[in-house]
Amino acid sequence: MIAPLFETWRVLMQEFVSFGLHVALIRQLAWLPRGYDLVPAGTVVTSAKLRSIMLALEEVNGPAVLVRLGRHLAAKEQEPVLTMLRHSATPAVIADRWRRLEGYSHARARSEFSIAGKSMNIHRGVVRGQPPARVENLLLQGFLIGLLEAVGAENIDATILPSHGPAIRVMRKGRMNNKLEFTGRGLRFRINWTSFEPVSSSYPFMANMPGTAPSLGAQRPIVRQLCAILEQDVGRSWTIDEVAAALDTSGRTLQRRLQQANNRFSDVLRMVRVREACRLLYGTSLSVGEIGFWCGFTDNAHFSRDFRRLLAMPPSVYREASIGHAGLTRA
């Protein structure tokens, strides 16, 4: 029994460690009672170590502290992936990005979202093995609360939905329940809000576009209009109907007009994403993984495959070639 359990613990919280969010998480411990005492100087924070820190934190301060920690992490930190998550137009886009982050980091934990009106239901599960631990689920609930508040959700109520018994109040109208007590894993929870006022945000990553990026060329107006919509949020899991609505037409009409222009929606979306990846590879210090995630790819293999298809080289080679061409060196 010990080996399977250890293996489950080892991969917990992988989403945070894979993209460097554990560093931001550790920084947030400074705001909590005895938080920094849990991480001696020189500690190497792996997924398993991060989970043990969260267990110790809960033991000292109670379960509510994990929700508060996740909330602060989402609102306060400036790590690139957090910036990407906050650059979401709606709660549905937040849910889509978090699911994609789980897949991109090959985390064993998986989250299912159901969004209706002003309510988000989350069910935590796994691809295989043991379900996610309570500390991870509490941290994620707080993290999602913080993201929702950051993009415009107001007066949030949050509850844990146990398998048996009444719902357990975590937050009411934006106020934490600091006396939160329960013994289950917290695999199901709900977040409601009374109103949503989208927060306008400027594009987070400014960079120059190298001349070797795929060119739009002499495309027909419908293709350029489509690109203009997609470029507003390249990491979004766009459907043709969503883009068509933004262009005040139907999905079927847009598809027909693209066919008349000898284009397909999926090809245009791929070109826009690769163009944006080129811009970020050339003009920012974001990692290849961060860029692939930001540009909407499901994982690094998908990113590399689509990039090679258009530019005949992987993203890492493109970055080095661009830096060399510009006469720059990377620290």
Owner of token pair 């400036």? 78
Residue 6: per-residue pLDDT: 32
**How does DSSP classify residue 215?**
P
CB contact at 8 A, 78 and 196? no
Residue 326: per-residue pLDDT: 46
Alpha carbon distance, N-terminus to C-terminus of the chain: 46
CB contact at 8 A, 247 and 224? no
Residue 218: per-residue pLDDT: 61
Residue 170: per-residue pLDDT: 95
pLDDT > 80? residue 21: no
The fold adopted by the segment(s) 221-326 is Arc Repressor Mutant, subunit A (1.10.10)
Residue 329: per-residue pLDDT: 37
Give backbone dihedrals phi and psi of 166, rounded to 5 degrees, phi first. Answer: -70, 165
Tell me what percent of the residues of the chain surpass a pLDDT of 70. 81
Q: How many H-runs (helices) and E-runs (strands) does the chain carry?
A: 15, 8
pLDDT tens-place string over residues 185-212 = 899 999 999 999 988 666 676 666 666 6
Please report which confidence band the pLDDT of residue 8 belongs to, taking 50, 70 and 90 as the band edges: very low
Element at 168 (helix H, strand E)? strand 168-172
Those residues with Cβ within 8 angstroms of residue 72's Cβ, 6 or more apart along the chain or in another chain: 28, 31, 142, 146
Nearest in space to 204 (alpha carbons), one of 84, 318, 300 = 84
Please state the length of the chain: 331
The fold adopted by the segment(s) 2-196 is H-NOX domain (3.90.1520)
Between 230 and 105, the more confident residue is 230
pLDDT tens-place string over residues 274-313 = 999 999 998 888 899 999 999 999 999 999 999 999 999 9
Region 146-171 average pLDDT: 94
Owner of token pair 């080095």? 320
Average model confidence (pLDDT) for the chain? Answer: 84
Tell me what percent of the residues of the chain surpass a pLDDT of 90. 47
CB contact at 8 A, 119 and 37? no
pLDDT > 60? residue 2: no
Tokens of residue 195, six digits: 């109103």
Q: Give the C-alpha separation, 292 to 229, whole Å.
A: 19
Burial of 56 (0-12, 13-18, 19+ CB in 10 A): middle
Question: Residue ranges of the domains in the chain?
Answer: 2-196, 221-326
pTM (2 decimals)? 0.83
Residue 61: per-residue pLDDT: 85
Please report which confidence band the pLDDT of residue 9 belongs to, taking 50, 70 and 90 as the band edges: very low
Instruction: Among 4-18, 92-106, 233-247, name the one with the lowest average pLDDT.
Output: 4-18
2-196 shares its CATH topology with 221-326: no
pLDDT tens-place string over residues 68-91 = 989 988 888 888 888 888 888 899
